[in-house]
A and B are shown apart, each in its own frame.
Chain A
Amino acid sequence: QVQLVQSGSEVRKPGSSVKVACKASGGGAFSSHTLGWVRQAPGQVLEWMGRVIPSVDVANYAQKFEGRVTFTADKYRSTAYMEMTALTSEDTAVYYCAKVDPFYTLAVWGQGTTVTV
């Protein structure tokens, strides 16, 4: 079973950027996984941001985040990254990475990274 461990909390000023890491261990080769990113603002519902497929270096983004968010993956470090630019207070949220199984089942979740803007 893969485990996902995310980087620690971040505090940023409006207009700046943040990069969140998600390290995978166990459960097979990192490249065989698809990793999704979901955020949850305080008191709000879960919000899908998109996914990255490390085996082919492809990332897909929800339209809302297109152009402001970049997903990358380092196969050698078994780590996925989510970078968001031009932060505003509305980006204050807990950001989760998750292993995406067939049919967009979010099978395993990281512990979450709190980003405060």
Chain B
Amino acid sequence: QSVLTQPPSVSAAPGQKVTITCSGSNSNIGGNHLSWYRQVPGTAPTLLIFENDKRPSGIPDRFSGSKSGTSATLDITGLQTGDEATYSCGAWDSSLNVVVFGGGTTLTVL
């Protein structure tokens, strides 16, 4: 359903590392910058990573992003229970002329 593909859920223990993937095509991830957003249920998304690998001020370096070809990853290290949220990727799609989003990945910190 979503133009960008993400796993529905990931989980890991506190202190561990988790990787969330986002897969697309040449018209979106392959040709444009990618952002990652964090959303706690019942609240608005917030920007986590922009332009593939940049962190806004206030985002700790435990969060990192990368992009290769038509895929991107979000790494979260030193997991904390407060990191539980849904993480979504988003990018401009040059063919559809819209911002496209992934379906969101729900992170559970066990």
Contacts and interface: CB of A to CB of B under 8 A. Distances in A.
Interface size class of A (residues with CB under 8 A): 20 to 34
Contacts of B1: 45
A21 to B, nearest CB: 15
Interface in A69-109: 96, 101-109
A47 B101 contact: yes
Given A104-B92, A106-B35, A111 B44 contact: yes
Given A45-B2, A48-B100, A104 B91 contact: yes
A101 B90 CA distance: 13
B32 A48 contact: no
Contacts of B90: 46, 104, 106
Contacts, number: 64
Contact of A45 (B44, B98, B103): B103
B92 A103 contact: yes
B56 interface: yes
A34 B92 CA distance: 15
A36 interface: yes
Contact of A36 (B99, B102, B103): B99
Interface in B24-75: 32-33, 35, 37, 43-47, 50-51, 56
Q: Per DSSP, are chain A's interface residues mostly helix, strand or loop, or mixed?
A: strand
Nearest to A36: B99
Contact of B97 (A62, A101, A112): A62
B35 A105 contact: yes
B56 A107 contact: yes
A2 B91 CA distance: 22
Nearest to B102: A45
Interface in A11-70: 36, 38, 45-48, 62-63
Given A102-B51, A104-B91, 16 more contacts: A46-B45, A48-B101, A62-B98, A63-B98, A96-B44, A103-B33, A103-B50, A104-B92, A104-B99, A105-B51, A106-B37, A106-B47, A108-B47, A109-B44, A109-B45, A110-B44
